[in-house]
Structure 1
Amino acid sequence: RLLATAGCPAGPAAVRLWSPASGVLVDAIPGAAGDGGAVWALGFRPDLTTARPELLLVLERAGRYTLAFWRQGEGIRAHGPGSALDFDTEITACWYGPGRTALVQQDRAGRSRLLRADLDRGTTTVLPTPEGTIIDFSCAPDRTVHCLWSRDGEPPRPLICHPESPDSLESQESVESAEHAESPERSGRSGRSGRSATVSRGTAPGGTTGSRRRELWTRRPYGRIHSFVATPPGRGADHRPWPTVFLVHGGPHTHDRDAYDARTEALVRAGFAVVRTNYRGSTGYGPRWRDDFGHRVGLAQLEDLAAVRGHLIDAGVSEPGRTGLCGYSWGGYLTLLAMGVQPRLWDVGLAVAPVADYTAAYRATTPALREVDDRLFGGTPEQVPHRYRAACPMTYVGRVRGPLFLAASADDEKCPPEQIERYLAALRRRDVPHRVRWLGGGHDVGRDPAGHAAAWEAMVRYADDALRASPRTADRRDSGRTGSHHPVHHTEERSTP
């Protein structure tokens, strides 16, 4: 028996193998084992009859992800590049049944698929799951696979797959492999600017009645930006485009999915178009899309959001003067940054638990998040101060016109309250219209569900007040009359335990 501990996936000791009985280090797997990429440990093979322990691994190498395993005394065993166990986007996996067989979940272009992989032969078989997202899966003793599945507008529900009978899926039809989905990594390298066509999904079962779900691919010289768009039934008021809210995901190394999102449904029911964009830094589109933006933290992501906004305006979905941003954590950070860097583009900002002062947040946050920032920026604030300054919402607070709604917790260790207080003080000095609501529970929504639910309802009302204004009124705001469509006010509230 051995114990595996994980370090930094790209570090010199990505995985360490220990003997629990003696405490002796048996082996260490460096991130360089992934050809200069990274290594993740997924679990030991549960078959205790094997003579030597075997540990399932994912290697990142040469811009791809490979399923492999480590065997005591032999090291890493992996098939070469180009095998069926080599993937272009992120994967996770677990051992499946006897032998060296695993179940693999691949996330690609906002969707996921399941495959059965034979590690000895280097082959895979795609399991028939519907287009959408596998939220989680597990294996029963009879080797059936139980999945929690969803798609945009359809709440999660269980599915049962039978990998031994690849055509069998209880209550669902087989769908075309997600491998054929178009992604920025494969289709956006032509170097030509311009915009792609919108592909309609139609009405999603179980979603808001009559609402429409679409995908948007916005072409840029560096690739194609993928967005999920939901719009209310019919046309907007007076046959105008809808007021539009971008729900900006956090991370940045995660992604919005073709999956049910309660916030999207609430906003669509309230009459908003909702956009979820997988900007550069998002996972699910290959390592280049995730990492290759030159340490221009925040600014590269804002360029992507602005490009999608322009695409939607050209398509008649949105209109200038009635587009806003809403984000949690790193998404809240991008919201604040956009309100200062691109004040003419965004007409309201809703930020929950944001980074408002990057250098101050770095000094007060957790060690794990400091490591994330070190990788994002290529160093600490002392080593690359210009990068942190360029990425910091406080740098641009003098350009913010508002209105802004901020919700934060005094107990938040990840996005500490002191740096938010400093940002709020700067807004007050400049008479920027804003509202702040202090919540309990730290960074975890689940620790103060009532407070977060009340804050969400207040944010939707706030966005409604801001975005129902006519574009002409918003244009006057752009010409220098700060907040003319929205009374200058500063309010502060605290949720009660």
Structure 2
Amino acid sequence: MTAKWHRFFTTERPLAVRRGRGPGDRSLVVVEGDDGPRLTLWDAERDTIRPLDGITEGDLVQAILTCDGEHILSLHDDNGSEVGHVHATSLDGHADYDLTPELPPYTLRGIDVAGRADRAVITCVTDDGFSLWMLSTDGSAAPAKLFQSPHETWNGLISTDGSRACVDTTDHNPGIRRFAVTVVDTATGAVLGCLTDGPEAPVRGVRFSPGSGDARVLLSTERTGYARPCVWDPAQNTRIDIDAPHLQGDLVPLDWSDDTTRVLAVHVADGIHRVMEADLLTGTLRELELPAGAYFEPNVADAHCHQWASHYGAGGSVRLLHQRFDSPLSVLHFNGPEAVHQSHVTPRPDLDGVRLTSSTVRSADGTSVQLWWALPRDTQGPVPLVLSLHGGPNLVTVDRYDPPAQAWLDNGVAYAALNYRGSVTFGRRFREGFRPAIGDRELEDIEAAVRWLISEGIADPDHLFITGSSYGGFLSLLAVGRLPQMFAGALAHVPMADWLAGYEDQNPAQQAAWEMFFGAKPEDCRERAIRASPISYVSDVVAPVWISQATHDTRTAPGQVRRYEEALRAAGGTVVVDWYSGGHETCGLTKALGEQSRMLELVDAALHQRPWR
């Protein structure tokens, strides 16, 4: 008999809706299927949906449409390693060609397509550094290098007519992730302008103007310490800033209307999203009256700045991507507060989930940290609880659909998710708060969250578990080593367990991130890296540890996990490692269901004082 909680993992759901840049209003819909992501083409003008069942190769989660809407671009790598080449694939899957055959394999840190030309730009990372390349999407011309730097360079964008490109650069401030935006001529590679707000305040590109021949760029700036929209004209070196001094917290720009008069943005305060629209002609800012939930999710160190985001449709309509912890992503069309309706493209199933509550917790030094939490339905605390930590660290847990959260709650286990220091959308100071002592501030935040959950009568102090992926997996292992009496078990997915051993096996982009985290190369900060590594504390671990690790992971490589496993066993600890074939990201509902079943089995064993095997 199928367990009731399986419903959260057996219902296919959209992961993203990404509008094409070309004429018309066509979008790629990325759907999480049983065996991984699959694509659907949505033509909003014709109101048609076309499954792209022939496209099965490449990183489909980050795929984008070409200008003509006849191909998709995606990174093809070795079993999820994130190192490979960008390919163009026809919508029927029959034609597929490598757009960069002469380049060495690279990691992708940006991809964008021109709206009126068969051109795209990609931001690549190899052993030689970071580079921006222009591609001919029909393969008629060889790739052209537009920009090169040894320092972190991300998020290349291309203008509507393909004549200009911009990229987020750190040449002015090496080793610190506070970007400037550099604009180049795509015909010559000549630098046409660079916008920086100084060494403290980063500037990030969002998109070029949708207007043909319009060289302006929509940016996100942080002169106040919080994100704000800005429109910059590099030709005239003029700018329009939406300062919004009455708002506390980030105001994150997402998109620019086709007529270039409005900017869509989301104000984030204590983790709560409020969608707003800025009128560039009048300078006014209005809030849209919408259901509670999340309307975008930031990304980091990937092909796009957001994993999914609300945006404009053709004709200036506001296309809202909306989800909550208990409701999968759906598309809402906004035509005024009395006319918000759901698109049939992403029907929202009623899965009878539990809403989560947002609370603020004070950390050891008085810093406010935001926490999502819920008790199982019809339950009085305290009960066993799982504390979840996102990766990154420059990511964030938003109010978006989360099958594992719902599975825990359906099985009588309370759930909480912490946005520790290092999380984005809480301002620059909070985002950078995890440096330079990696792990220290995050553990203070974890400890504060746990004490709050216990004091509020939510969590049973004897039955607390910690879990997370990537950086969240690292923090899970670090917590059971440095806070050994606090947790009854750790459930870590693709964690960093040994920072020093992991460096050599990482891809070049991740090595640059490593150096940014610690502010130096490994040979110059050995003591700091050792202090930050969970492997340094295996003799103090008393709780059992489970690790799910990928064979082809180039972010948190398998070798350093093997070292941790051996060290913890040698110290007398309990560790179980389950290996899977693939890369850093878990794909497919079937695999996710299997991992959740495994975690429920282990937590049940701990609650009944049985060993982990």
Partner of 1:114: 275
Q: Structure 2 regions of 5+ residues with no counterpart?
A: 1-160, 174-178, 297-308, 343-348
**How far apart, in 2, do the equivalents of 1:214 and 1:45 lie?**
38
Partner of 2:240: 78
Contact 1:34 1:60 in 2 (8 A): no
Mapping 1:21-420, distance limit 5 Å: 21=187, 23-30=188-195, 32-33=196-197, 36-48=200-212, 52-79=214-241, 88-89=249-250, 91-135=252-296, 136-162=309-335, 166-171=336-341, 206=350, 208=352, 211=354, 213-220=356-363, 221-235=365-379, 241-420=382-561
Contact 2:552 2:582 in 1 (8 A): yes
Q: CA 1:208–1:273 in 2, change beyond 3 Å: closer, same or farther?
A: farther
Q: Is 1:463 the equivalent of 2:584? A: no
Amino acid at match of 1:456: Q
Q: Is 1:5 the equivalent of 2:166? A: yes
Contact 2:250 2:267 in 1 (8 A): yes
Between 371-380 and 437-446, report the one with greater CA deviation: 371-380
Contact 2:385 2:463 in 1 (8 A): yes
**How far apart, in 1, do the equivalents of 2:581 and 2:589 lie?**
9
Q: CA 1:46–1:324 in 2, change beyond 3 Å: closer, same or farther?
A: same
SS at match of 2:460: coil
Q: CA 1:378–1:120 in 2, change beyond 3 Å: closer, same or farther?
A: farther
Q: CA 1:371–1:106 in 2, change beyond 3 Å: closer, same or farther?
A: farther
C-alpha distance after superposition, 1:222-276 (max 9, x if no partner): 322211111112336xxx6211111111111111112221110011111100011
**How far apart, in 2, do the equivalents of 1:394 and 1:93 lie?**
40
C-alpha distance after superposition, 1:258-309 (max 9, x if no partner): 2221110011111100011111111122112221355221121111111111
Amino acid at match of 1:338: A
C-alpha distance after superposition, 1:302-334 (max 9, x if no partner): 111111111111121112220010111111110
Amino acid at match of 2:211: D
RMSD after superposition: 2.5
Contact 1:116 1:127 in 2 (8 A): yes
SS at match of 1:445: coil
Partner of 1:181: none
**How far apart, in 2, do the equivalents of 1:10 and 1:287 lie?**
19
The ranges of structure 1 where at least 4 consecutive aligned residues each deviate by more than 4 angstroms after the TM superposition are 9-13, 80-84, 205-209
Contact 2:251 2:265 in 1 (8 A): no
C-alpha distance after superposition, 1:343-365 (max 9, x if no partner): 10011000010001011222321
**How far apart, in 2, do the equivalents of 1:381 and 1:335 lie?**
23
SS at match of 1:74: coil
C-alpha distance after superposition, 1:191-236 (max 9, x if no partner): xxxxxxxxxxxxxx95656x56333322234322211111112336
Q: Structure 1 regions of 5+ residues with no counterpart?
A: 173-204, 470-484, 492-497
**How far apart, in 1, do the equivalents of 2:568 and 2:231 lie?**
53
The TM-score with structure 1 as length reference comes to 0.80
Contact 2:293 2:323 in 1 (8 A): yes
**How far apart, in 2, do the equivalents of 1:241 and 1:103 lie?**
42
Between 425-434 and 87-96, report the one with greater CA deviation: 87-96
Contact 1:439 1:452 in 2 (8 A): no
Q: Is 1:14 the equivalent of 2:187? A: no
Contact 2:242 2:283 in 1 (8 A): no
Aligned residues: 428
The TM-score with structure 2 as length reference comes to 0.65
**How far apart, in 1, do the equivalents of 2:183 and 2:540 lie?**
52
**How far apart, in 2, do the equivalents of 1:280 and 1:227 lie?**
12
Q: CA 1:232–1:91 in 2, change beyond 3 Å: closer, same or farther?
A: same
Contact 1:254 1:282 in 2 (8 A): yes
SS at match of 2:484: coil
Which structure ranks higher in relative contact order (CA pairs < 8 Å, sequence separation ≥ 6)?
2
Deviation for aligned residue 1:81: 5.1
Amino acid at match of 1:65: A
Q: CA 1:451–1:440 in 2, change beyond 3 Å: closer, same or farther?
A: farther
Contact 1:83 1:122 in 2 (8 A): no
C-alpha distance after superposition, 1:4-33 (max 9, x if no partner): 232336845733322223x23142425x33
**How far apart, in 2, do the equivalents of 1:376 and 1:346 lie?**
26
Q: CA 1:212–1:456 in 2, change beyond 3 Å: closer, same or farther?
A: closer
C-alpha distance after superposition, 1:114-165 (max 9, x if no partner): 2221234332111222121014323222321121211232333221112xxx
Partner of 1:453: 593
Amino acid at match of 2:370: H
Q: CA 1:343–1:35 in 2, change beyond 3 Å: closer, same or farther?
A: closer
**How far apart, in 2, do the equivalents of 1:301 and 1:90 lie?**
24
Partner of 1:196: none
Return the match for 2:566 from 425, 448, 458.
Answer: 425
Identity rate of aligned residues, in percent?
A: 27
SS at match of 1:103: strand
Amino acid at match of 1:54: R
Contact 2:435 2:517 in 1 (8 A): no
Q: Which has the higher strand share?
A: 2
C-alpha distance after superposition, 1:368-423 (max 9, x if no partner): 22232333222222222222121110111111123111110111111100000000
Q: CA 1:87–1:223 in 2, change beyond 3 Å: closer, same or farther?
A: closer
